[in-house]
Amino acid sequence: MSLQRILTDRIAATGPITLADYMSEALLHPTHGYYTTRDPLGVAGDFTTAPEISQMFGELIGLSLAQSWLDQGAPAAITLAELGPGRGTLMADILRATARVPGFHAALQIVLIEASPALRAVQATTLQDHAPRWLDSVHDLPDQPLYLVANEFFDALPVHQYQRDGDRWRERMVGVEGDRLRMGLGPAMPQPALAHRLEDTQQDDIVEVCPSASPMIDTISARIRDHGGAALIIDYGDWRSLGDTLQALKAHQTTDPLTDPGTADLTTHVDFEALTQAANCPFTRVTPQGVFLERLGITQRAQALAETLHDAPLEAHVAAHRRLTHPAEMGNLFKVLGLYPQGATPPPGLEP
Ligand code: SAH
């Protein structure tokens, strides 16, 4: 039975479900979920991410994290963690770029937080020489300095959407009409947690709330506060999110998020303000990816790599550099947020 059928049957029997429940089923249903059943990345897949575009992305992230480690006195036993590591490409590039940083590899235990069995298997192959450990939750992160990266992870977490009605809010709910899934509205209710959004919204505006993001930031930032470390969170989004940003991608094309759940990637823009509100350690300015990568020297790295390339590979390399950094491509849409301990230098590439 398809997931569409499972969900229409369930909604017909027990009533509409929240968008967050819908996203969670579509992405992580144990047998039909999008991430649980496949490797969605790359040209043959549904979408491409920065580490899959060029090795330079992971190399520069690796150097930023290793520099934070050096700045903090090169602690002897640390966790190098990634949330939602996809194919393991970013972690592999981080490890290659930091292999010559004296003592860094000897100090680190690699921890991957990954919900998808299919992608855990791909990561095991990519990182077979590095003995990673997989954890189900950030709560299980060891009590030691934490150097963490998350690229296009928070955009995959389920969100609730609320539509403003006077000074109350109606939750957008997924219901059924015949054999199709359809968006509807719940009753108008006060939402104390959205009080601050009455200032910047008007009648019928939609806001999004991601309930699982804040507890994760709370846990990660507490490790950094108590033991040291740094976190780099990279995603598309803005300081504050406004409007319906839900998007479904299949074979690199947008498609209807409510059709054939489990067969398309679902994402929303990340609300970076909400992430910082959950941080209990210092955080950096939310910085455009292009600016961050330029500050870390991507142009020099690109020129060095270009020296050995010709013809089509050279053209692809130049295009990849542009794609990662140009404001009209990923350079501006994607943002970077850093977390770091009180009294420490912010992660290289970012400002307090
Ligand atoms: N960071 C990778 C992959 C991004 S795709 C890259 O940049 O290429 C999103 C990743 O997050 C996938 O690995 C997906 O399986 C994982 N993921 C999504 N929701 C998750 C959750 N709730 N818990 C753990 N991992 C999750």
* Per-residue model confidence as pLDDT tens for the chain (352 residues): 999 999 999 999 999 999 999 999 999 999 999 999 888 887 778 889 999 999 999 999 999 999 999 999 999 999 999 999 999 999 999 999 999 999 999 999 999 999 999 999 999 999 999 999 999 999 999 999 999 999 999 999 999 999 999 999 999 999 999 999 999 999 999 999 999 999 999 999 999 999 999 999 999 999 999 999 999 999 999 999 899 999 999 999 999 999 999 999 999 999 999 999 999 999 999 999 999 999 999 999 999 999 999 999 999 999 999 999 999 999 999 999 999 999 999 999 999 9
Q: How far is the CA of 128 from the centre of ligand 1 (A)?
A: 19
Give 239's contacts (C-beta < 8 A, 6+ positions apart): 271, 272, 273, 286
Residue nearest to ligand 1 atom 11, measured at CA: 84
Q: How far is the CA of 170 from the centre of ligand 1 (A)?
A: 29
Q: Tell me phi and psi for residue 237, to 5 degrees.
A: 150, -165
How is 256-285 classified by DSSP, letter by letter? -TTSSTTSSEEE--EEHHHHHHT-SS-B--
- Closest among 181, 169, 170, 176 to 15, alpha carbons compared: 176
Look at phi and psi of residue 204 and say left if phi exceeds 0, alpha if psi is from -120 to 50, else beta: left
119 lines ligand 1 (CB under 6 A): yes
Give dist(CA 87, CA 76) in Å, integer: 28
Give dist(CA 147, CA 137) in Å, integer: 16
- Closest among 192, 42, 206 to 119, alpha carbons compared: 42
Look at phi and psi of residue 101 and say left if phi exceeds 0, alpha if psi is from -120 to 50, else beta: beta
Strand partners, 174: 17, 183
Q: How far is the CA of 285 from the centre of ligand 1 (A)?
A: 24
Cα radius of gyration rounded to whole Å, the chain: 21
- Closest among 155, 160, 214 to 191, alpha carbons compared: 160
Q: How far is the CA of 337 from the centre of ligand 1 (A)?
A: 18
Strand partners, 334: 236
84 lines ligand 1 (CB under 6 A): yes
The DSSP call for residue 131 is -
Index of the ligand 1 atom closest to the CA of residue 82: 1
> ∠169-173-179 over CA atoms, to 5°?
155
- Closest among 105, 211, 217, 231 to 161, alpha carbons compared: 211
The residue with tokens 């994290």 is 65
**Backbone CA torsion sign across 337, 20, 260, 255:** negative
- Closest among 147, 153, 150, 154 to 340, alpha carbons compared: 147
Residue nearest to ligand 1 atom 16, measured at CA: 84
**Helices 55-71 and 89-97: angle between axes, nearest 10 degrees:** 50
Q: How far is the CA of 112 from the centre of ligand 1 (A)?
A: 10
52 lines ligand 1 (CB under 6 A): yes
- For a pocket test of ligand 1, which of 21, 116, 336 has the largest count of ligand atoms closer than 8 A to its C-beta? 116
Q: How far is the CA of 84 from the centre of ligand 1 (A)?
A: 3
> ∠116-8-206 over CA atoms, to 5°?
75
H-only helix segments in 98-193: 104-107, 117-126
25 lines ligand 1 (CB under 6 A): no
pLDDT at res. 43: 74
pLDDT at res. 330: 97
**Helices 117-126 and 89-97: angle between axes, nearest 10 degrees:** 30
Q: Which two structure tokens, joined as six digits, stand for 254?
A: 């947008």
Q: How far is the CA of 210 from the centre of ligand 1 (A)?
A: 15
**Backbone CA torsion sign across 67, 72, 76, 81:** negative
Q: Tell me phi and psi for residue 142, to 5 degrees.
A: -60, 155
Give dist(CA 26, CA 20) in Å, integer: 10
Q: Which two structure tokens, joined as six digits, stand for 278?
A: 């959950």
pLDDT at res. 272: 98
pLDDT at res. 41: 87
Q: Which two structure tokens, joined as six digits, stand for 151?
A: 């690229």
Evaluate if pTM is beyond 0.85. yes
